[in-house]
């Protein structure tokens, strides 16, 4: 599943192809994504310039003067850029945006992605139901140890689950939660409210560092988005604990353990990560 770093890398890859360019045509072959693609989308967008391509959590926000196209990759979505002519559409190629001279194609086999329109003047974008409850961005200057400390008080759930919930900070998906907790030396089962200010500080730094590294690694594969795979999960090669059950910890050689929390796999080093 695409996580925040993959979405940010997608944004960086698409931005030069769309920002300051005009939508020439929109083709919707399959409107049945997670929610129906608005039937009037082609008319709404044609002839209008994309001012900026932004990201909020795992949503891409295509900002126009008259509104915002909100898109989400769901479980399996990928945007690819075809600089000149796109090849014939396959059965999972649901939407084409012809912007400037390029074709941007949304491919989504499982169709959990989304493409929605929010007109300007219908309230602040931050108040949109999909965005209103998102936590702070991990790279927002306000996100630090003190923030994490404040937002974990009274939370009896395990810190891994609190990170995944995305209300304290957004974008720490399953891979990055395990990796961040390893880097901070915190056992994923610790009740969030038990973390003191110092461990919250370490964790906030770890979250930022792990996500920044994943984006940097993905950034080096930006070319792949042009007429190529754009596969997610490039961070995995360098994971410290994720998907490494039974393998030796890179720091202390203790075997990495796997457990299930909230129906998701968690990986951790029982020696490096303290309760
Ligand atoms: Zn270890």
For the stretch 155-192, pLDDT in tens is 999 999 999 999 899 989 898 999 999 999 999 999 99
Question: Residues of the chain whose pLDDT is less than 70?
Answer: 219-237
Active-site hit among 8, 56, 58, 160: 58
Judge whether 119 counts as a catalytic residue.
Answer: no
User: Is residue 136 a part of any domain in this protein?
Assistant: no
User: Is residue 273 a part of any domain in this protein?
Assistant: no
- Residues 117, 26 share a domain: yes
The enclosing domain of 89 has a CATH number of 3.20.190.10
Alpha carbon of 249 to ligand 1 centroid (Å): 5
For 176, the domain range is 145-268
Counts for the chain of helices (H) and strands (E), in that order:
6, 11
pLDDT of residue 225: 53
CA dihedral 195, 196, 199, 203 (to 10 degrees): 60
Q: Residues, the chain, total?
A: 275
- Residues 169, 81 share a domain: no
User: Is residue 133 a part of any domain in this protein?
Assistant: no
Residues with Cβ–ion distance below 5 A, ligand 1: 249, 251-252, 254, 269, 271-272
- Residues 123, 66 share a domain: yes
Which of 12, 132, 10 is closest to 71 using CA atoms? 10
Active-site hit among 34, 111, 250, 264: 264
Active-site hit among 3, 6, 8, 179: 3
Alpha carbon of 55 to ligand 1 centroid (Å): 35
- Residues 184, 76 share a domain: no
Active-site hit among 2, 5, 138, 188: 2
Alpha carbon of 187 to ligand 1 centroid (Å): 11
Q: How far is CA 52 from CA 181, 192, 231, 251, in A?
A: 34, 37, 24, 42
Judge whether 2 counts as a catalytic residue.
Answer: yes
User: Is residue 134 a part of any domain in this protein?
Assistant: no
Residue carrying the six token digits 């399953």: 174
User: Is residue 177 a part of any domain in this protein?
Assistant: yes
- Residues 165, 104 share a domain: no
- Residues 24, 63 share a domain: yes
Judge whether 6 counts as a catalytic residue.
Answer: no
User: Is residue 77 a part of any domain in this protein?
Assistant: yes
Q: Is 88 exposed, middle or buried (0-12, 13-18, 19+ CB in 10 A)?
A: exposed
Side by side, which strands form the sheet with 78-82?
A: 49-50, 21-28, 93-99, 102-107, 78-82
- Residues 159, 102 share a domain: no
User: Is residue 139 a part of any domain in this protein?
Assistant: no
User: Is residue 54 a part of any domain in this protein?
Assistant: yes
Alpha carbon of 199 to ligand 1 centroid (Å): 17
- Residues 77, 38 share a domain: yes
- Residues 115, 195 share a domain: no
Q: Are 68 and 48 in contact (CB under 8 A)?
A: no
The CA distance from 27 to 142, in Å, is: 40
Count structural domains, the chain. 2
User: What is the DSSP-derived secondary structure letter of residue 153?
Assistant: T
Three-state secondary structure readout of 53-119:
EEEECCEEEEEECCEEEEEECCCCCEEEEECCCCCCCCCCEEEEEEECCEEEEEECCCCCCEEEEEE
- Residues 259, 153 share a domain: yes
Alpha carbon of 186 to ligand 1 centroid (Å): 11
Last residue of a domain, one of 65, 96, 127: 127
- Residues 122, 37 share a domain: yes
Alpha carbon of 156 to ligand 1 centroid (Å): 26
- Residues 181, 70 share a domain: no
Q: Are 106 and 72 in contact (CB under 8 A)?
A: no
User: What is the DSSP-derived secondary structure letter of residue 136?
Assistant: B
Judge whether 208 counts as a catalytic residue.
Answer: no
Alpha carbon of residue 160 to chain centroid: 17
DSSP helix/strand/coil, 24 = strand
């Amino acid at each position: 599943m695409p996580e925040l770093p993959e979405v940010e890398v997608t944004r960086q890859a698409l931005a030069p192809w769309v920002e300051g360019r005009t939508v020439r045509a929109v083709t919707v072959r399959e409107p049945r994504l997670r929610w129906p693609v608005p039937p009037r989308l082609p008319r709404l967008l044609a002839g209008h310039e994309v001012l900026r391509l932004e990201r909020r959590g795992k949503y891409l926000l295509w900002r126009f003067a008259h509104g915002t196209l909100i898109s989400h990759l769901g479980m399996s979505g990928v945007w690819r850029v075809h600089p000149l002519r796109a090849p014939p559409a396959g059965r999972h190629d649901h939407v084409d945006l012809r912007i400037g001279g390029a074709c941007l194609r949304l491919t989504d086999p499982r169709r959990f992605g989304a493409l929605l329109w929010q007109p300007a003047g219908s309230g602040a974008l931050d108040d949109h139901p999909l965005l209103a409850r998102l936590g702070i961005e991990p790279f927002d200057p306000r996100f630090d140890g003190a923030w994490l400390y404040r937002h974990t008080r009274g939370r009896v759930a395990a810190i891994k689950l609190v990170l995944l919930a995305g209300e304290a900070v957004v974008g720490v998906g399953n891979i990055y939660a395990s990796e961040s907790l390893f880097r901070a030396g915190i056992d994923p089962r610790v009740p969030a409210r038990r973390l003191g200010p110092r461990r919250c500080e370490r964790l906030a730094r770890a979250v930022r560092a792990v996500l920044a590294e994943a984006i940097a690694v993905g950034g080096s594969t930006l070319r792949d988005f042009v007429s190529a795979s754009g596969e997610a999960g490039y961070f995995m090669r360098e994971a410290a604990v994720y998907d490494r059950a039974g393998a030796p910890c890179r720091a202390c050689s203790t075997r990495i353990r796997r457990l299930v929390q909230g129906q998701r796999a968690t990986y951790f080093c029982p020696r490096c990560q303290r309760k």
